[in-house]
A and B are shown apart, each in its own frame.
Chain A
Amino acid sequence: MARDLAIDLGTANTLVYMKGKGIVLNEPTVIAVNRKTSEVLATGHEAWNMIGRTPGYIVAVRPLRGGAITDFDITERMIRLLLQRVGVSRFTRPKVVICVPSAITEVERRAVTDAARRAGASDAHLIEQPMAAAIGAELPIDEPVGNMVIDIGGGTSETAVISLGGIVALEAIRVGSFDIDAAIQTYVRREHGIAIGERTAEDIKIQIGTASPMPGERGAQVRGRDLVTGLPKNINLTAEEVRFAIDEVVTSIVQSVTRCLSKVPPEMAQDFLQRGMYLVGGGGLLRGLAQRIERETCVPVRMSPMPLEAVVLGAGHCIENYQVLRSMFMSTRR
């Protein structure tokens, strides 16, 4: 008998929670495929290391963009491999709860559930990421008070207000930390005339990226390919330049938080002032982001203790209490 699973199928990382056991898998949502034979060559960390360094016949891709499946076939194969790696076989078909952005369309929902069922799940349910994040972040969502959670993922940013186990207000945009990486790539290309890969852009973001001025800022040396000569070239990039490069993306995330706050019933406004908002997701780790949101909304912002795992832990709680909490799952027409 297979143990039921909760999967956080994120644009950046995929985490799997097994009922009664905890998180059993955590790796990048990347798959490397042989273009000629369509064979899967690697997934996860191994495939992530191949990005930008593959020969012509191998393609290392992220099958999700903006939280939605861009390549159904590859996603199905990736889910099948994930399920196999956690011990699911042809004869043991578990129930699966998959975390998805709340903004995905009915077609996208069906694509995810169909991919999971074809990959070996006996039944597939979906749960909204901000709801799962609030459960996983240990917020008191069972109480009649407003709990605000901001989930900044690789491809989406979602802000939700939750009270009494349900969503009161929600704001979601298809902008995430990959857009921050893309903004850095564009800036370096435009201002310094060198091309850098997405992994280099991510490294720059992690090393010196800030959403608001921070004490002790430093620069970084960036290696790329000169667009004019085609030769390798080094440049020095300052934290201020990176902040300028990513400002548009950060502003759109902050504006979505503000829009969510404006949708909230007035009774709840005082709850936020006392309890604050909680940041989850990898994008929330950007230095200075909490301070920037706090400055622009005048509401305290706190970091969840486990920002990267909160979503899958919340979905894991739902799979542990499947019968009682199944009403929280999103509906999909079959």
Chain B
Amino acid sequence: MIAIQGAVFIFTVLAIACGGALGTVLFRERRKTGIYDGIENFRRHIEALSPEARRNVVPRNVNSNDPTDNR
């Protein structure tokens, strides 16, 4: 009985350790900067500054008379 309990305990500890290790590896893989990440980020940054992207903002210069109107 004690041997079974011991085995269960060891398996549980091993399972948790393996899970943690796997999680850590996956997390680090996701955070690893890929060779194309810089290119992708820069492209998104430049696209967000394009006249097309800015067109959504500038015409909305409505100068509302009621600043509390948050609709």
Contacts and interface: CB of A to CB of B under 8 A. Distances in A.
A22 B68 contact: no
A320 B58 CA distance: 11
A321 B61 CA distance: 17
A86 B49 contact: no
B48 A86 contact: no
Contact of B44 (A24, A309, A324): A324
Interface string A4-19: 0000000000001010
Q: Most chain-A Cβ atoms within 10 A of its Cβ — which of B58, B62, B68? A: B58
A142 interface: yes
A137 to B, nearest CB: 10
A16 B67 CA distance: 10
B68 A321 contact: no
Contact of B51 (A22, A86, A87, A140): A140
Contacts of A23: 61-64
A164 interface: yes
A66 interface: no
A165 B61 contact: no
Given A21-B60, A22-B63, A138-B54, A3 B70 contact: yes
Interface residues of A, number: 31
A164 B50 CA distance: 10
A45 B54 CA distance: 30
B54 A86 contact: no
A278 to B, nearest CB: 14
Nearest to A164: B46
Nearest to A25: B67
Interface string A308-334: 010001001100110011010000000
A11 B4 CA distance: 77
A165 B46 contact: yes
A28 interface: no
A47 interface: no
Interface string B14-30: 00000000000000000
Interface in A269-322: 306, 309, 313, 316-317, 320-321
B58 A136 contact: yes
B53 interface: yes
Contacts of A313: 57-58, 61
A142 B50 contact: yes
A253 interface: no
B50 A21 contact: no
Interface of B: 44-51, 53-54, 56-58, 60-64, 67-68, 70
10 contacts: A20-B60, A21-B64, A24-B63, A26-B63, A85-B67, A85-B68, A313-B58, A317-B53, A320-B57, A324-B44
Interface of A: 3, 16, 18, 20-26, 85-87, 135-136, 138, 140-142, 164-165, 306, 309, 313, 316-317, 320-321, 324-325, 327
Ranked 7 nearest A-B pairs via Cβ: A22-B60, A22-B62, A142-B49, A324-B48, A24-B67, A317-B57, A321-B48
